[in-house]
C-alpha cells in the first residue's frame, strides 16, 4: 500500500456555521492539526477546537473585499505539506460545492501531495432545513438544482432562462446582491411571478430570513436588510416552511443559536 511522503492535507468542510454541525471526523482532524488554513466563512468558534500550538492562517475570500489569491493558497498548502505538518484546509460549507475544493485537489495532485476530503453540510441544505423547507417532497419537488448567482471572472454568465425550467427547486448561492436581476430573468424564462421564495442570511447562526413571491423577493430582501452571505431558495416547497418551521421566531432564534455550546 502506498505510504505518503508527508501527512495528507485534510480538506475539511466546516459546515454552514453552527460548530455542532461539524462531522466527528472533521472535529478530530481539527484537534490534531498543526496548521489550519481557514476560510472567511468558517465560524471562528471552530478554531477553538484546535490545539494551543496549532497555527491558524486566514485565507478567506469575501465578495467586494480583499481576498487571498487562490494560487497563493495552493502554494501555502504545498509548502506546509512538504514540511511534514498535519494540515487542515478548513472550508465553509462543503469543499466541493462552490468551495474551490476541486481546484485545491488538482493543485495538490500536480505537486504529488496526498490529501483527503472530509465533506461538510453545505449552506443551501442547512438554510432550508433550519427554515423548515424540505428541498424535496414527493408531491412538490422531485428535483433540486444548486446554482451560483454570479459567474467566475471571465466566465460565462448563468443562463437563468434555462435554469427557470431545469428543476422543481432552485437553491442559489452568492446571489443576494443580484437578486433583482435573477428574479427578473427567471420570470422571463417562464417561472411564475407567484413562485414561493425564501432568502436566508447566515444559515444556522442568525438565520435571518424573508419569504416572498418571486416578483417581490428582491424588494422584501431590501426591506429586511438582508445581505451576504445568503441563500435563495425558489420553488413550491417554500410554502411548507410555515408548517414545518421548528426554530423560535426571529430574535429568539438568533439568541438560541448563538448560545449553543
Residue 91 known to be catalytic: no
Q: Is the dihedral of CA 251, 40, 222, 231 positive or negative?
A: negative
**What is the CA 116 to chain-centroid distance, rounded?**
19
Cβ contact 57:5 at 8 Å: no
> Which is the catalytic residue, given 39, 91, 94, 208?
39
End-to-end Cα, the chain, rounded Å: 41
Alpha helices of the chain — where are they, by DSSP H?
24-32, 44-47, 70-82, 101-110, 123-131, 160-163, 179-188, 217-224, 241-244, 250-258
Cβ contact 178:186 at 8 Å: no
Q: SS3 of 153, please?
A: coil
Q: Nine-digit cell at 125?
A: 441544505
> Which is the catalytic residue, given 18, 52, 56, 61?
61
Residue 39 known to be catalytic: yes
Q: Nine-digit cell at 257?
A: 443559536
Q: Grid coordinates 509548502 are at which residue?
A: 79
Cβ contact 245:131 at 8 Å: yes
Q: How far apart are CA 244 and CA 239, in angstroms?
A: 9
Beta-strand relationship, 87-91 and 35-38: parallel
Q: Which residues are catalytic?
A: 39, 61
Amino acid at each position: 500500500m502506498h505510504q505518503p511522503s508527508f501527512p495528507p492535507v485534510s480538506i475539511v468542510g466546516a459546515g454552514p456555521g453552527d460548530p455542532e454541525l461539524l462531522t466527528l471526523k472533521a472535529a478530530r482532524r481539527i484537534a490534531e492539526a498543526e496548521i489550519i488554513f481557514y476560510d472567511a466563512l468558517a465560524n471562528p468558534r471552530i478554531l477553538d477546537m484546535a490545539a494551543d500550538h496549532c497555527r491558524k492562517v486566514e485565507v478567506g475570500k469575501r465578495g467586494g473585499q480583499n481576498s487571498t489569491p487562490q494560487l497563493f493558497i495552493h502554494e501555502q498548502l504545498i509548502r506546509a505539506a512538504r514540511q511534514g505538518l498535519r494540515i487542515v484546509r478548513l472550508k465553509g460549507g462543503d469543499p466541493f460545492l462552490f468551495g474551490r475544493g476541486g481546484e485545491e485537489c488538482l493543485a495538490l495532485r500536480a505537486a504529488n501531495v496526498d490529501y483527503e476530503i472530509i465533506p461538510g453540510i453545505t449552506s443551501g441544505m442547512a438554510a432550508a432545513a433550519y427554515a423548515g423547507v424540505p428541498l424535496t417532497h414527493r408531491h412538490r419537488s422531485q428535483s433540486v438544482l444548486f446554482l451560483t448567482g454570479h459567474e467566475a471572472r471571465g466566465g460565462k454568465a448563468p443562463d437563468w432562462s434555462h435554469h427557470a425550467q431545469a428543476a422543481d427547486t432552485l437553491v442559489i448561492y452568492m446571489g443576494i446582491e443580484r437578486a433583482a436581476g435573477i428574479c427578473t430573468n427567471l420570470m422571463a424564462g417562464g417561472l411564475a411571478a407567484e413562485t414561493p421564495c425564501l432568502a436566508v442570511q447566515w444559515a444556522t447562526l442568525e438565520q435571518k430570513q424573508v419569504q416572498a413571491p418571486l416578483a417581490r423577493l428582491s424588494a422584501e430582501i431590501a426591506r429586511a436588510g438582508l445581505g451576504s452571505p445568503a441563500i435563495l431558495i425558489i420553488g413550491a416547497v417554500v410554502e411548507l416552511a410555515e408548517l414545518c418551521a421548528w426554530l423560535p421566531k426571529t430574535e429568539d432564534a438568533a439568541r438560541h443559536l448563538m448560545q449553543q455550546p
